[in-house]
Chains A and B, each alone.
Chain A
Amino acid sequence: MAAVSRAALAALAVLAGGCGNVSGFGGSVPPLAAVHVQVTGDFASVQAPGPAAPKLAAALVWGAQWLTEPLCVVPTSDAQVQALIAAGCRDPFGFVPDRVAVNAPLGPDGTAELDLLDLPAADVMVGGVTARVAYASVVVYDDRDGDGTLTLGRSSRLGGLDNARPDDTGVQTSDVVYAASFASMTAPDVRLAYREGGFDRTAAFYPRAGCGDPLPRFSIVSAGGFSAMAAVAAELSGQLPPEDPASCQEQPADAPVTLAYRAPAPLHELACQERTLDSSIRYREPDAPIDLTRRSAACAPVPDFGTGQAAGMIQWVVSGRSDDSCVGLTHYVLRGCSNDPLCQPPEWDITKTPPSWWPCAAQASR
């Protein structure tokens, strides 16, 4: 009887205190994928002078689908245009960031773990709902603004008379990128892929022609890169530039991503977004004279890819300032529309009365 009473008392005590381990919405959240990052090399040898001790961190950045503008890729012998391209064009084959997915501080041993708690949103995935893919680059940066995330900048753009557009100062970023697993398609790269459904091998979204398909869902894929000449040749023949199959790898997402410190100058565009994801160019009607301090400018033909539509039309192109975070170009034409210099009828046509400071050759009105 005493034993029964003790058991009853014990049961009552358990009941009074409650037991079990339901969590509701609380508790730790398991990541959907974890990327293990290892940085190698000597940071001190590439460190850029800064106002404070570096706060190194790793970030996973989903890539955007973006095409460079024709002026940046059409070969030219004009030295002024070449200087303009150098000052205002980003690498045509470079990785263009769209969104920072996750950040983590870099440990003293150069390691970091990037826990992905969300899948990439549909707007960073390319393809239909039955076959789409997203690619991300692992970036190591100095978090100079101390906001705990890689701040993506945006190029500035000058204003124009059309619709009284004011200058767009863009977004300046002080964060400095020191390493990236995927910086350009013309160099070996390692990237995180997220694939849903099938894989479209003909898609030109950071293509890896000749390599295997990314594994379903998350995977770490790598390729050896192709040359710019090979890319142009492939483009002219309607193909994707081929990768060396020996340089390709498709591994599970828990495979470590190893990257090396590099001088920050060639990597600064990895912290720069593009303004329009449809890669369209915006043209301006010239207004007042422009202060060209720390800028490059050149007169260049409006590219029409041999169709003859441009009929010798000239554009005046001005780069951003040399101390801007991100490179960019502003295009001025005497006749045209904001999204097409060859439009009919044009939104403006001042070919007969160009501004007195217009630096390019006069052109016939149409």
Chain B
Amino acid sequence: MPRVLRSFAEMAGLTRAKDFPTSGHNDRTMWRTAGLLALCAASPARALADDAGTLLTDDTWNYRSAGHLAVDGGLVVGFPAALPTGLSVGAGAGVTVGDALTWGARASWVTATESSLPWTVTQSDLRLRVTGGLQAHPGRGTIGLRLGLGGTMVHETRLRNQGMRAGLTGSELETSAFALLPAADLEAVVALHIAGPWLLTTSGGPSLDIHDGALHGGWTAELGVAWQP
């Protein structure tokens, strides 16, 4: 059993002892330092040059917002385009040009796997959109509304549950198919300038596609970073 320490000085002495094991607290400090270094490396090199030897300066969190071009990418989640249930997860990227009025293009790839009694269905959606929108720049932030029109390419793999155990083969066991669905998204976009040309962005809103002649509603959301030179 560890003994009870009687004073802070005694405890401090123990932590200085050569054989005192490295604590988790020291690991966390190291990771924090690494994170700060990574952020500083992402900020303009000028900031470091001006104050050599200082990790954080008054200029560290300065940002630029003069550019009318933004490139972003991040994690995308949403409702599958052609499945009645599930959560699609993947990655997306886009480019936006303009100031108050914007236009651009976006692409994302998401996938979802869901099951019913007879089927395990995996659908991968490749969403391609041409976008247009409005945005404002209050303070360090950017708030906007983005409409995307385009198509969603769906690749589907269906596996017959229990089919392998029953000895099914070929198309009785597994099938795959493609579909191209017209689609539209309406997203609210919020971006926050972090440092230099880097922004943290998030967006989300309803989506719509036409599948088997019927409207299929859903939603999509994205969390990522943007680069605005």
Contacts and interface: CB of A to CB of B under 8 A. Distances in A.
Partners in one complex: yes
Interface stretch (B20-28, B135-143, B154-162): B154-162
A32 B173 CA distance: 9
A18 B210 contact: yes
Contacts of B211: 18, 22
Interface in B159-211: 160, 162-163, 165-168, 172, 175, 177-182, 209-211
Interface of B: 82-84, 114, 116-119, 121, 123, 151, 154, 156, 158, 160, 162-163, 165-168, 172, 175, 177-182, 209-213
B167 A216 contact: yes
From A15, A17, A18, A32, residue with most partner B Cβ within 10 Å: A18
Given A24-B83, A24-B121, A19 B165 contact: no
Contacts of A218: 166-167
B158 A19 contact: no
B158 A18 contact: no
Contact of B151 (A15, A32, A117): A15
A98 interface: no
A20 B153 CA distance: 9
Contacts of A171: none
B118 A29 contact: yes
Contacts of A25: 83-84, 114, 116, 119, 121
B82 A22 contact: yes
Nearest to A21: B177
A217 interface: yes
A16 to B, nearest CB: 5
Interface string A6-31: 00000000111111111111000110
List the 10 shortest-distance A-B pairs measured between CB atoms, nearest first.
A20-B179, A32-B166, A217-B167, A22-B156, A25-B116, A29-B118, A22-B179, A18-B181, A30-B172, A119-B162
Interface in A1-58: 14-25, 29-30, 32-33
B125 to A, nearest CB: 10
From A14, A32, A118, A196, residue with most partner B Cβ within 10 Å: A32
A24 B179 contact: no
A80 B172 CA distance: 58
Interface string A116-137: 0111000000000000000000
Looking at chain A's contact residues, the main secondary structure is: loop
B123 A22 contact: yes
Contacts of A119: 162, 165-166
Contacts of B168: 30, 32
Nearest to B165: A119
Contacts of B83: 24-25
A17 B165 contact: no
15 contacts: A17-B210, A18-B180, A18-B181, A18-B211, A20-B154, A20-B180, A21-B177, A21-B179, A22-B82, A22-B177, A24-B123, A25-B121, A32-B163, A119-B166, A218-B167
Nearest to A20: B179
Contacts of B165: 119, 196, 217
Contacts of A118: 117, 162
B177 A19 contact: no
Contact of A24 (B156, B160, B209, B213): B156
Contact of B179 (A16, A19, A117, A217): A19
Contacts of A18: 179-182, 209-213
Given A18-B181, A18-B209, A20-B181, 6 more contacts: A20-B180, A22-B211, A24-B123, A25-B121, A32-B168, A119-B162
Contact of B166 (A15, A21, A33): A33
B154 A22 contact: yes
Contacts of A196: 165
A267 B160 CA distance: 36
A23 B177 contact: yes
A136 to B, nearest CB: 14
A117 B156 contact: no
Nearest to B80: A24
Nearest to B157: A22
Contacts of B166: 32-33, 119, 217-218
Nearest to B158: A23
